[in-house]
């Protein structure tokens, strides 16, 4: 999601109109999965991959 200008709303991007949880056997693009919240937090705090993607997404701006 990208924050839009004040009073204009936000923008979100995806390949589906509705978001849903995937079935365990459903074929989807590779994604990270973690067994614990601690592992997920460690990935967020220490992974250069996560930091790069976060920086790219947070740099998006919507112009009026």
- Predicted pLDDT of residue 53: 87
Q: How far is CA 4 from CA 17, 29, 32, 60, 64, in A?
A: 19, 28, 28, 10, 9
pLDDT for 16 equals 65
The first and second tokens of residue 10, run together, are 């936000």
pLDDT in tens, 6-45: 888 887 777 666 767 778 887 776 677 889 999 999 999 9
Cα–Cα distance, 1 to 57 (Å, whole number): 8
How far apart CA 40 and CA 21 sit, in angstroms, is 18
| Structure confidence at residue 30 (pLDDT) | 66
pTM score over 0.85: no
């Amino acid at each position: 999601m990208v924050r839009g200008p004040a009073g204009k709303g936000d923008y979100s991007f995806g390949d589906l109109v509705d978001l849903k949880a995937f079935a365990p056997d459903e074929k989807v693009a590779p994604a990270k999965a973690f067994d614990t919240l601690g592992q997920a937090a460690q990935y967020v705090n220490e992974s250069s991959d996560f930091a790069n993607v976060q920086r790219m997404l947070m740099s998006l701006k919507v112009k009026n």
